[in-house]
Amino acid sequence: MHWIAIIIIAVWMLVGGVLHMIMPEPFFHAVPDGWPKLAIVYLSGIAEIAIGVGVLMPRTRAIAGLAFAAMCLVYLPIHVWDFFRTDPIFSVPWAASTRIAVQLALIALGLWLWQRRKISV
């Protein structure tokens, strides 16, 4: 399970981070109006790439797992907010519900990886 968690987090963050950098526009819908959309999308992409790389390195794996959980927790309100928007990111409610469930599972996965630091030290 340990390596599966590492692969899931690394791929999730590296692919997501690269997409933030090469195709930022689709992510603008998740940034509230009045906020600097491009800067936020780029900064979050950089953070995602850093976490994706960090989880691959044994020395930074635990803190990257915690950072992953924290970032997923920060993103969670965006998906909840989608239920109340007049122009939702996910046009069908079940897609937003699924995304919330996935976020909760990803938070748990990151915390699990962070807690493994006690086992592997």
Instruction: Give 33-97 as a 3 state SS string.
Output: CCCCHHHHHHHHHHHHHHHHHHHHCCCCHHHHHHHHHHHHHHHHHHHHHCCCCCCCCCCCHHHHH
Question: Is 42 part of any domain?
Answer: yes
Q: Which domain holds residue 101?
A: 3-116
Question: Is 18 part of any domain?
Answer: yes
Burial class (CB within 10 angstroms; exposed 0-12, middle 13-18, buried 19+) of 112: middle
For residue 78, pLDDT beyond 60: yes
pLDDT digit string, tens, across residues 108-120: 999 999 998 765 5
Question: Is 121 part of any domain?
Answer: no
Number of domains in the chain: 1
Give the rounded percent of residues in the chain with a pLDDT score beyond 90: 64
Question: Is 17 part of any domain?
Answer: yes
Q: How far apart are CA 39 and CA 32, in angstroms?
A: 13
Question: Is 14 part of any domain?
Answer: yes
Q: How far apart are CA 27 and CA 22, in angstroms?
A: 11
pLDDT computed for residue 121 by the predictor: 46
